[in-house]
Structure 1
Amino acid sequence: MEMMNYQSINAGYQEEGLPQYQEDEGPDAPPSYNSIFGESGEDKVSFVRKVIIILMETIILTVSVVLLLSIPITMIVIGAIKLDDCPVEKFIPKWLLITGCFCLPHNLHYLGRQLYNKTNNQDGKNAIKNTLKWILYLFFFAWFIAGSVWVFRTCSDVSYTEGSEHYCDPLVFAFSFWTLMIASLCLGMGCIYYYWPLSLVLRRRAADS
């Protein structure tokens, strides 16, 4: 009985023929080999391009994470250890310490929020959170101005000789100075990046009117 069923099924397949994979172009057709793996030449170029993009994104992400975490931690350590080692301007090590204490949790929250938004496909827009964020940014900007005043006004008077009334620990002063210089450069580049296109649009509208 089983042999007869097998022979009848086999005979039916021979009469109807097996379905042709390439001829099935309906909506329920399975994907072709080329649609999955692409053409040989173009697929290799596309694959290499995707690998390079992934590597670049990984490198940029790694560098960003290292900078966002290592710089505030370094500021906290230097400011705490050298808190009383800058008589020429006692607020410089305090500026380092307070800046690091504020930047470290802010950067951790930023990295966590970016990861959460990317994982859940959210844009992270929230009116209350954005308001608090801008208040915090205003504080950072005011604190940045204060640090710039404390550091740059002592550049001509600072001494690295211990016992001098104008003494400041070289590590404290150098780290504060270059942190402010790099931050000023990044702030200037950010302003150019965001407001230069806006100025071009305003000029074009003024010319058209």
Structure 2
Amino acid sequence: MATEGAELKAAEAGAAPPSYVEAKDVAPPPSYDSLFGQLKQAKENSDGHVDFVKTCCGILVGSVACTVCLGIFLAIPIAMIAVGATYLHDCPAERMIPIYLIVAGVFNIVSNILMIIRGQVNKRKEGDEEKKSGAGPEQLINCFLFAWFIAGNVWVYRTYDAWQSSNSMLDTFCDPTLYYFSFWIITSTYIVLGVLLVICLAVCICMCICGKKE
């Protein structure tokens, strides 16, 4: 046994250190403080694909990039409030359209601010109870916004062929700036949701393929 131990030590002592190229090619494991590390850890700890997608959404919401995007998206609700207030009495064809813009803009600002705050708090605190504590009012606001969005669809799309902008004295008049702004705000929401759905499906497919290879 002593001879084998001496031979092992001699072999270790005589082994040449790795070259610079070999040492350079060995990448360190991903840090779990990084976004990639958090997503990989979420994949390992998730109970299924649905749980993994929910966890990934929470991680992305708390990321700096998402916070910056939410800050940019605050400009859209502000524009909704401005347009709705400016043309509040300029759409007798459907008087709820400017009101829809104002209410949706206000609650979207509140929802975005709460989401930014919750994302920053979750990065500094640990524990499920602390993370869930700020989600109550945000969920209620989002439920209201969903119902209000459906109502806005009805008000805007049913007026599509029933309004005109040539004679402001008629009940079918609606300011074109107000109507087209409302129309494209709602329509662009569906476009963005479609793009996000395609991206999520592509990510899920890639994760499944990578998981099978591993």
TM-score, normalising length: structure 2? 0.56
**Number of the residue aligned with 2:158:** 153
Q: Does 1:177 align with 2:183?
A: yes
Q: Displacement of 1:170 after TM fit? A: 1.5
Q: 1:122 to 1:158 in 2, by over 3 A?
A: farther
What is the Cα-based RMSD across aligned positions, in Å?
Answer: 3.6
Alignment equivalent of 1:135, drawn from 120, 136, 140? 140
Stretches of structure 2 lacking an aligned partner (at least 5 in a row): 1-12, 14-19, 28-33, 35-62, 205-214
Q: Displacement of 1:129 after TM fit? A: 4.6
Q: Displacement of 1:84 after TM fit? A: 0.5
1:118-141 C-alpha deviation (Å, 9 max, x unpaired): 244666632x65454433322111
Aligned mates of 2:116, 2:138 — CA distance in 1: 14
Aligned residue for 1:125, secondary structure, equals helix
Q: 1:161 to 1:105 in 2, by over 3 A?
A: same
> Between the two proteins, what is the percent identity of the paired residues?
32
Aligned mates of 1:135, 1:63 — CA distance in 2: 22
> In the alignment, residue 149 of structure 1 is paired with which amino acid?
V
TM-score, normalising length: structure 1? 0.57
Aligned mates of 1:93, 1:75 — CA distance in 2: 9
Stretches of structure 1 lacking an aligned partner (at least 5 in a row): 1-22, 24-33, 44-49, 51-56, 198-209
Alignment equivalent of 2:95, drawn from 90, 107, 116? 90
Q: 1:171 to 1:122 in 2, by over 3 A?
A: farther
Aligned mates of 1:134, 1:110 — CA distance in 2: 10
User: What does 1:100-139 align with in structure 2 at a 5 Å threshold?
Assistant: 100-120=105-125, 125-126=131-132, 129-139=134-144
Aligned residue for 2:93, secondary structure, equals coil
Q: Which moved more, 1:80-89 or 1:112-121?
A: 112-121
Q: Displacement of 1:58 after TM fit? A: 7.0
Q: Number of matched residues? A: 147
